[in-house]
Structure formats: C-alpha cells, structure tokens
Structure 1
C-alpha cells in the first residue's frame, strides 16, 4: 500500500464572484460536512468552485475560458471570476486564490509567511499537497449523483490502479467522520430533512394540501414551513398596515384640503369685512325703515281724523259750558224749590242736578281724552316724518 502524506483539511471557500454568488464565504466544520438544499440553492456552484480552485489553471485561452468558465461570470456584469480556498495540511494553514478572465492570477500563501505566484509554481506546489489526481476527485470524491454509475464502471475497468488508493481514502474518511456509516448518515440526513421539510410539499413549493397560515398544520411542521407561516403572517400584517396607512394618508389629504378651504373662506371674509359691516348696517336701517313705513298709515289716519276730533272737542267744550250753566240754574232752582216745594221735590231736583253733574263730568273726561290723544299723535306723526326723511337720505347715499 502506498504511503501518502497528511490529508488536506478544507476550512473555508469563498466565491467572490463566482456564478450567482457575488461574495459568499462558506465555512467547513471539522469532520463530516453535508451540503443540503433545494434546487438552485447553489450546491453545484459550490462543487464547481472547489474543482476549479484545486485543478483548473488560470492560464486559459479565450476559447477555453468561454467553454469552461464563462458560465460562472455574474449575470450582473463583469469579466472576472475569483475563488479563495483556506485549508490546512498537517496543521499548517494555506490560502489559495485563483482568478480567471481579464485578471488572470494564481497565488498560494504558505504557512511560514511565504507566497507563491504564477500558475506553474502554484499548480506544482498544490499537486504535492493533494493525495490523488484530478480524476479521482472528479469521479469519486467530488462527483454528481448522476455520475456515480460511470464512476463505478471506471473503477471496474481499472481495479488495480484505483483500489489501493480508494481503500486508503475510505478508511481515513471513516476514521475522520467518527465511524459514521452510510446507513447512519442516510438516517441522519432523513431525520434532518424531516426537521426542515416537515409538512412541506417540495414539488409545489407550498404547504401540504395547500393549508395556509389561516388554517395551519399543527403537528409535524418543519422549520421551512414554520418560517413560511411566519412570512405569510408578516405579509398579511404588512398589507393590513399598508391599507391602514393608506386610509390615514387619505384622511390627512382630506383634512389638508378642508383646511385650505377654511383658510380661503377666512381670507375672503377678512377681505370683505367692510362690506359685511356695511351690509349689516343697511339691514338695520332697512328694518327701522320698514317699521316706520308700517306706522305711517296709522299716523296719516290720525292726521286725517285730527280736524274732526278738534271740532268734536270744541263742540263738547261748548256743551260742557252749557251744562255748567244748566247746573248752576238747577242749583238756583233747587234752592227755590226747597223753599216752595216740600222735601220730596227737593230730592228729585237734587237727583236731576246730580245726573247732570255726572254727565258734565263724563263729557269733561271725554274731552280730556280727546285732547291727550290728539297732541301725542300729532307729535309722533311729525317725528316719524322727520325720521323717515333722514333714513331715506342715508339709504340713498349708501
């Protein structure tokens, strides 16, 4: 059995850029590492980056670059792809960096602080650190599941050339992975798969039976579905908050519009305040004028009746004077009758005189009432005519 040096332990690979990764470091843990993920997650890109940094020279012709590396140039643009690999051999740290495209470069940082540049020196040193050739890595250690059948056929064709190396490699792999068997690894992968993909339909990319967050699965929910439910709840809350914020914006816009209308009305009122005050005065004058116009017919009626009242007053005055004369005559007659007639005749005469006296008093009261009404009405008529003329002058001047 051939004796080979210490194994190469991968510590980290960095794609910057390479394929869909612009700057993506991927660390490796001690022991067995399993890369698990759905389609288009970047598993194949990671394997191709590892193959390229270990075995592909940076001195590629334009034709080889287009056929082998152009597919890893970022779609966002650029003309260079770059991969950096950190690994250890016998506890000594190495850093390998390769660039393909416009910036062709190969660099290997050695444990003692030295550095190798140039593709030939780097490839030669790297070949001494690798235990197997490129074919063993490509078809056995870094192979696709679809290539396993071809790998087995190749091993069958060349059993002597590969059995010893492969046996040694598998023995070291079992020791370095703490003796984990393939069956145990498969069981662990399935258990981990259930933890992540429980109740998740990977073909549809949705929960099993289409059960959304409003009717979620309660048992057997994996990490992916749990995160998906949280995402859906967050999206729902976000949409509700967005609608609420939209209503608030509409209310604010309406409030602002109403405030502008209020400001416009206030400005209009302030600008037309003198006209408003003038209109208020005109309204007050018009009310007073209307009241006076309503009183004028009554005053004119009083004015028309004044001559008749004055004649009546004069007539009543004459009647009162005549009644007084009659009263005095009756008193004289009473005295005469008292002497000539008996007590009864005197009483009758006195009663008659008393009635005449009451009549005179009544006529005097009527006369006094007619005089008071006439004087007041005449004065009110004159005052109303004067106020009417004054108000008409004010109205015509405004």
Structure 2
C-alpha cells in the first residue's frame, strides 16, 4: 500500500490540508506544534476509525479533532495505491457522519464493505497498525508490549523487519549514516548544547576546516555585525567632520566679510591719495590763517 495524497478542509488545528507524497521514503519536518503528529493522526483515523463513533469515543474524538469554532464536522480524504489498483477513501466525522471508498472505479458507501475491502490488503490487525505503524515515540515501548499480548508475535516481528529494517529499500544503517552526514554538514564544529561555535572560537579566531552550515551562517552574521559596527563608526566620524566643516565655513564667511571691509578701506585710500597734496596745502593755509588770527589782537593794538 502506497499513500499518495491526504486532504482535509478541517482536522484538529489544520485547515485546507493537502499533502502529496512522493515515491520512496517521505520525511515530514517541522517545528514543535506545527502539525506533524496531526497529519499522522489524520492518516491513521482516515484508514482505521469509523465515522459512526460510539458516545464515549465520539466525545474523545470531538475534543481532540473537532474545530473549536466554526463547524461541527471534520473530513479526511486519502488517495493510495494497492498493487496496480488506485483507491480514494473519504470520511466525514461529526453531525453528518459518512464514508465513501472508490476502489478502482467501484464505489462503496456502507461501512462493512469498506472495512472488508481495506482489511483485504492491510494484512495487520487494527491494534498493530495503531500501536506500531502510528505509534508516538514516547509510548512505543508500552504499546509494543500491549500488541504482543493481543496479536501474533511472528506476524509483528515480520512486519517490524519489513517496515523498520528495509523501509522501502533503505537500510537502517544507511539511513542513520545519511542522517549523521546531514548533521555533520549542518552542525560541524557547532556547540549545539550552548548555541555557539565549538571551543568558543568566534569570528576573531574562526575554524578553518569542518565548518558546518550553521557555523558558516554564524560567522557570516558576526562578519556583518563587525562591518555594521565599522560603518556606524565611520558615520559618526563623518558626522563629526561635517560639524567641523560647518565651523570652517563660518570662519571662512567671517574672513570674507573682513576682506570686503578691507577692500572698501583700500578703495577709500586709493581715492584719497590724489587729494593728499591739496589736503596738505589746505592744512598749511589753515595753519597760516590760525597764525594770523592768533596775532590779530596784537596788530590791532598797534594800529589803534
């Protein structure tokens, strides 16, 4: 069985979900609470959970997967291939519970026929599928013990070998090697625990070899921060120089004003120079007149 696509207009915290799976191994990556586990839950319930739930199961299902506001229905649509035959399985949970299976052009709408068709190629029991194929990591050990008590151990061991050892032709060792190589590519010489370069070797004493992508990005960030600090320092220097330039411009303006005043004085001096002899002559005549005036009383007595 190869799942090709899963769709849902509304399921738990997801809306307008539409994921197309590629041939081979598919890995779902995302941050915490991004919805990775919810996608797995949608696939599991789409294949295994009846829309016609009993009261207690309906309450649990509604609490976990029904929208808090804006509706009372969730839907799951799964497209998959089994051998050369294509299937489309649709299920609707809530106030309008219903299901439909298109099996290579043959349409089933009753639950028993759909369940029988699915069980014809799922091979493992529902408990095994829920507890192992769709197991959450933290509860895998406890679920495995529970399944061993309820279903054929040889069948489970064969399934585990096929699913976890071969994984569509990719060995565990090879997959582990690929993951480790990816980690080296990303985090070589990066202290993941403390979030800094290994050995605390920053941009001033950087690693030259085995620089992972995270460390490379860190060095690039540090380099940009240094350049930004240098740019800021230069801007401050330029601002200081601009202020000094303003003072110089004021001084130049004052000097130019003084030069204008000196030029005006020089012009007056140039105009006065041709008049200097006449001025001296006039000053001499004034002196003579002053002398006469000063002597006039004496002359007047003599004439009297």
TM-score by length of 1: 0.46
Counterparts in 2 of 1:19 and 1:203: CA distance versus 1, 3 Å: farther
Instruction: Please state if 1:141 is matched with 2:133.
Output: yes
1:55 aligns with 2:48: yes
Distance 1:201 1:77 in 2: 46
Structure 1 CA distance, aligned partners of 2:89 and 2:102?
A: 6
RMSD of Structure 2 on Structure 1 (CA): 3.7
Identify the residue that residue 174 of structure 2 maps to in structure 1. Answer: 184
Question: Among residues 12, 16, 24, which one is paired with 2:17 in the alignment?
Answer: 24
Could you tell me whether the CA contact under 8 Å between 1:57 and 1:123 is conserved in 2?
no
Measured in 1, the distance between the counterparts of 2:190 and 2:7 equals: 31
Tell me, in whole angstroms, the C-alpha distance in 1 between the residues paired with 2:47 and 2:187: 34
Q: Offset of 1:65 from its aligned partner?
A: 2.3
Query: Does the 8 A contact of 2:48 with 2:126 survive in 1?
Result: yes
1:225-252: CA deviation from partner (whole Å, max 9, x where unpaired): 79xx7xxx9xxxxxxxxxxxxxxxxxxx
Residue in structure 2 matched with residue 119 of structure 1 by the alignment: 111
Alpha-carbon distance, 1:129 to partner? 2.8
d(CA) in 2 for partners of 1:125 and 1:140? 22
2:143 to 151, 160, 168: 151
* Structure with greater helix share of residues: 1
Q: Higher strand share goes to which structure? A: 2
Deviation per CA, 1:64-104: give whole Å up to 9, x if none.
32212332223452111111111111121100011101221
**Residue pair 1:11, 1:29 contacting (<8 A) in 2 also:** yes
On the 8 A contact 2:128/2:147 being kept in 1, the answer is no
Q: How does 1:63-78 map to 2 (within 5 A)?
A: 63-78=56-71
Equivalent residue of 2:37, what SS? helix
Q: Is residue 131–residue 147 contact of structure 2 (8 Å, CA) maintained in 1?
A: no
* Structure 2 contact 127–147 (Cα < 8 Å) conserved: no
Structure 1 residue 220, shift from structure 2 partner: 2.1
The answer for unaligned runs of 5 or more in structure 1 is 1-7, 234-398
String of CA shifts for 1:130-173, please: whole Å, max 9, x gaps: 11111111122211111122134336646xx4332124324543
Residue 21 (structure 1) shift: 1.5
The offset of 1:119, in angstroms, is: 2.6
1:92 maps to 85
Larger Rg, first or second structure (1 or 2):
1
1:276-295 to structure 2, matched below 5 A, reads none
What's the counterpart of residue 164 of structure 1? 154
Work out which of the residue numbers 99, 111, 117 in structure 2 matches 1:106: 99
Q: 3-state DSSP class of the match of 1:47?
A: helix
Post-superposition Cα deviations, 1:179-200, rounded to whole Å, max 9, x if no partner, equal x332332332343355567799
Matched residue SS, 1:69: helix
Where in structure 2 are the equivalents of 1:299-338 lying within 5 Å?
none
Mapped contact 2:187–2:212 kept (Cα < 8 A): no
Structure 1 residue 57, shift from structure 2 partner? 0.5
Tell me the equivalent position of 2:3.
10
Partners of 1:107 and 1:117 within 8 A in 2: yes
Indicate if the aligned counterparts of 2:74 and 2:92 stay in contact, CA closer than 8 A: yes
- Alignment partner, residue 323 of structure 1: none
Distance 1:83 1:167 in 2: 30
Distance 1:194 1:134, change over 3 A: farther
Hey, what's the Cα distance between the residues in 2 that align with 1:36 and 1:200?
A: 21
Q: Is the 1:82–1:98 contact (alpha carbons within 8 Å) kept by the matching residues of 2?
A: yes
**Are 1:53 and 1:85, in contact at CA under 8 Å, matched by a contact in 2?**
yes
Residues 1:164 and 1:146: Cα distance change in structure 2 (over 3 Å): same
